[in-house]
């Protein structure tokens, strides 16, 4: 058992840490046993040090010399956990390629590499781990959605941690991959907290927006009976509280029939998501104006409205006569704007009498909507394509009432 590292050993670790490939190689040449050495304090191996510092060359060298990818330090952390914690994407990639196990739990909080990526907000690493989970045996043995909702020692899922740490990108990605929006913790935070409680506590408007759009329940209580609204108030997050106030307008929720349908083409999905978020932003503005809180506006979406006139040579939506058609029902080829598509699907709640979720129908021909794709602009010049996508940027609020009526009218014809 080492109590101190020799100067040679110290030299080795500092070369690993700084990514001094030649020195590491040289040292290992005449003392190959150093590769199995661990640090005194937290018993980290060279592989841990390389992973935490993103030293991909050294990391590859160590793996090539058949160092096992899943070594454990004092806290039972794997190199993969450290790479995910520090956002070292190339090391995460390499370790997963080398067969690192994504289903290991540390002894600090019982967390996995997925928890680490979510907690520290490294969405790129999160994405990689999720893709690995889809293809690896984890999916087969555990089930993919069980992995996405994996709990740490205190009952926190990666989504809870991302919401608590103000990581909207990770929140979005996790929801998109089947994270349960209403899961409650056992002991993490205040017991019984949902991701919405935790986002309320950290005061992250972006996370709250994502969670609400995914159907998070503003009325769900934690173990001490508090709804997220009360948590936000208590933590002096006024703007968040205004949105979480159950008496303020309901947000538009990403329609559940569209949540996981694989038929939803990527481009169409992005258009619909954008329209939904824009609609909710309008709603937020109205709510916050009333309560006197201002919304920190991230990107100037209010600017170039004049693009709409430029888009006039493109096809106008026949439901609202207001927006450009960007979505096409693939089967029948009928087109409408993203907002009307959303409104159509949002109001298509499962019929309780038949108990089977009803498929939304095309308002023009009443055929089932199975596939939605992005509508191609008929005159396919780059200019029109661009002005269409720009006018999407300008989509205002849903003007819900008016459009609902229009959709229903079209629907009843």
**Residue 304 C-beta: closest distance to Zn ion, Å:** 20
Considering only residues 263 to 282 of the shown chain, the ones binding Zn ion according to CB under 5 A are none
DSSP state at residue 375: P
Minimum CB distance to Zn ion, residue 272 (Å): 12
Contact 138, 146 (CB under 8 A): no
The residues, ordered by sequence, that sit 6+ positions from 314 with a Cβ below 8 Å of its Cβ are: 324, 325, 377, 378, 379, 384, 387, 388
Site string for Zn ion, 339-358 (x = CB under 5 A): -x------------------
How many chain residues are in contact with Zn ion, going by CB under 5 A? 11
Which of residues 117 and 320 has its CB atom nearest to Zn ion in the complex?
320
| H or E stretch at 327 | strand 327-329
CB of 271 to Zn ion, least distance (A): 12
Report the relative pairing of strands 327-329 and 335-336 from DSSP bridges.
antiparallel
Nearest to 67 by CA among 28, 118, 26: 28
Provide the minimum distance between the beta carbon of 343 and Zn ion in the complex, in angstroms, as a whole number: 8
Residue 75 near residue 106, CB atoms below 8 Å: yes
Is 320 a binding residue for Zn ion by CB under 5 A? The answer is yes
- Tokens for 308, please give them: 């709409």
Dist CA 10 CA 27 (whole Å):
11
Q: How far is the CB of 412 from Zn ion (least distance, A)?
A: 15
CB of 373 to Zn ion, least distance (A): 13
Please say which residue, 148 or 319, places its beta carbon nearer to Zn ion.
Answer: 319
CB of 202 to Zn ion, least distance (A): 36
Residues in a beta bridge with 327: 336, 374
Look at the block and give the residue holding tokens 């108990």. 355
Estimate the share of the chain in helix, then strand, then coil, as percent rounded to the nearest 5: 50, 5, 45
Considering only 21, 190, 293, 364, the residue that binds Zn ion (CB under 5 A) is 364
Q: Which is nearer to Zn ion, 284 or 328 (CB)?
A: 328
- 330 by Cβ neighbours in 10 Å (0-12 / 13-18 / 19+) ranks as middle
Is 373 near Zn ion (CB under 5 A)? no
40 binds Zn ion (CB under 5 A): no
- Out of 48, 160, 226, 334, point to the residue binding Zn ion (CB under 5 A): 334
368: helix, strand or coil = strand
The smaller minimum CB distance to Zn ion, of residues 31 and 368, is found at 368
Does position 411 bind Zn ion by CB under 5 A? no
Residue nearer to Zn ion on the CB measure, 20 or 278? 278
362 in contact with Zn ion (CB under 5 A): yes
Residue with token string 């992973």? 51
| Residue (181 or 369) nearer to Zn ion, CB | 369
Where does this chain touch Zn ion (CB under 5 A) — which range of 20-28, 274-282, 294-302, 315-323?
315-323
Query: How many CB atoms within 10 Å of residue 174?
Result: 31
Stretch that binds Zn ion, among 210-218, 294-302, 333-341, 376-384 (CB under 5 A): 333-341
* Residues pairing with 373 in the sheet: 328
* Least Cβ distance, residue 377 to Zn ion (angstroms): 16
Tell the smallest beta-carbon distance from residue 61 to Zn ion (Å).
Answer: 58
Taking CB under 5 A as the criterion, the residue among 182, 223, 365, 402 binding Zn ion is 365
Round to whole Å and give the CA distance between 334 and 412.
17
What is the dihedral angle through the alpha carbons of 373, 375, 380, 385, rounded to the nearest 10 degrees? -100
Please tell me whether residue 332 binds Zn ion under the rule CB under 5 A: yes
Residues forming contacts to Zn ion in the complex (CB under 5 A) are 317, 319-320, 323, 332, 334, 337, 340, 362, 364-365
């Amino acid at each position: 058992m080492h109590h101190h590292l020799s100067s040679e050993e110290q030299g080795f670790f500092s070369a690993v840490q700084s990514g001094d490939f030649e020195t590491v190689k040289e040292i290992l040449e005449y003392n190959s046993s150093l590769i199995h050495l661990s640090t005194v304090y937290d018993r980290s191996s060279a592989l841990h040090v390389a992973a935490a510092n993103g030293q991909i060359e050294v990391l590859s060298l160590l793996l090539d010399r058949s160092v096992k990818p899943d070594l454990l330090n004092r806290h039972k952390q794997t190199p993969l956990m450290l790479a995910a914690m520090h956002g070292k994407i190339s090391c995460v990639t390499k370790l997963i390629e080398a067969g690192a196990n994504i289903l290991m739990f540390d002894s600090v909080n019982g967390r996995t590499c997925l928890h680490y990526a979510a907690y520290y907000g490294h969405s790129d690493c999160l994405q990689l781990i999720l893709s690995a989970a889809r293809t690896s045996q984890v999916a087969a043995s555990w089930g993919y959605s069980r992995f996405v909702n994996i709990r740490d020692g205190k009952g926190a899922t990666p989504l809870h941690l991302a919401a608590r740490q103000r990581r909207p990108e990770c929140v979005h990605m996790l929801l998109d991959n089947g994270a349960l929006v209403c899961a409650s913790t056992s002991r993490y935070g205040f017991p019984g907290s949902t991701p919405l409680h935790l986002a309320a506590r950290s005061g992250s408007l972006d996370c709250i927006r994502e969670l609400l759009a995914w159907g998070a329940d503003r009325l769900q209580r934690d173990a001490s009976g508090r709804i997220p609204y009360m948590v936000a108030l208590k933590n002096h997050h006024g703007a968040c509280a205004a949105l979480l106030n159950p008496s303020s307008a309901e947000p538009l929720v990403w329609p559940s029939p569209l949540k996981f349908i694989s038929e939803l083409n990527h481009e169409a999905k992005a258009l619909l998501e954008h329209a939904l978020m824009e609609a909710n932003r309008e709603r937020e503005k109205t709510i916050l104006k009333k309560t006197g809180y201002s919304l920190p506006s991230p990107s100037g979406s209010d600017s170039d409205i004049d693009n709409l006139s430029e888009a006039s040579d493109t096809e106008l939506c026949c439901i609202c006569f207001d927006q450009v058609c960007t979505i096409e029902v693939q089967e029948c080829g009928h087109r409408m704007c993203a907002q009307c598509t959303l409104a159509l699907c949002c109001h298509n709640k499962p019929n309780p009498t038949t108990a089977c979720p009803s498929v939304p129908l095309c308002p023009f021909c009443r055929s089932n909507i199975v596939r939605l794709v992005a509508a191609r602009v008929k005159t396919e010049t780059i200019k029109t394509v661009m002005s269409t996508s720009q006018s999407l940027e300008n989509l205002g609020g849903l003007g819900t009432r008016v459009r609902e009526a229009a959709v229903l009218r079209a629907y009843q014809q």
